[in-house]
Amino acid sequence: MLTPEDLRLIDRLHGGLPLSDRPFAELAAELGCSEYTLIERVHGWLTAGVLTRFGPLFQIERAGGRFVLAAIAVPEERFDAVAAIVNARPEVAHNYRREHALNMWFVVAAESPAAADAALACIEAETGLPVLAFPKEREFFVELRLPLVDAAAALETEEADDAA
């Protein structure tokens, strides 16, 4: 169970890891803990699956690459087999099951538009199912930042209510 303090720390670690020789030491000094403690906590959260990754997030489109959102309507009885085929492709950066007739939604990240199209064509051929591509035509806002500080405050309120 994560504590409000954990949520605040994860929020602080969202971005901005210093580009200094000892970035964890620098952050630890700011947070009032030790470098070792900070590294151990990040390690623990990765092991527990609270974090999926810790490091640089590349926006490959700035170097000619391409991200394409795509969806497949997968027959329920084939769902796991199709997921295995889709997930096996290294170009597939993430894949989610969603409640809809189009029940599998994934993102292909490739070094060029042609490579992205080729990956989608391969998935279509290997699964035998139509792949609908939803390339972005315009980006209005991208900042996957969960309101963790608000969540920490809410958690504290709930705890106070429980105690009352």
118 binds another protein (CB under 8 A): no
Q: Closest by alpha carbon to 115, among 140, 90, 84, 138?
A: 90
Q: Contact, 152 vs 10, CB < 8 A?
A: no
163 three-class SS = helix
Cα–chain center distance at 126: 26
Cβ of residue 15: shortest distance to another protein, in angstroms?
Answer: 3
For residue 101, give every residue at least 6 positions away whose Cβ sits within 8 Å of its Cβ, in sequence order, or none: 73
Binding of residue 163 to another protein (CB under 8 A): no
Q: Which of 10, 119, 120, 123 binds another protein (CB under 8 A)?
A: 10
Q: Is 142 in the site for another protein (CB under 8 A)?
A: yes
* Residue 30: CB minimum distance to another protein, A: 14
Per CB under 8 A, does 78 bind another protein? no
Dihedral sign for Cα atoms in the order 95, 114, 139, 17: positive
102 binds another protein (CB under 8 A): yes
Q: Kindly state whether residue 120 participates in binding another protein, applying the rule CB under 8 A.
A: no
Decide: is 45 part of the binding site for another protein (CB under 8 A): yes
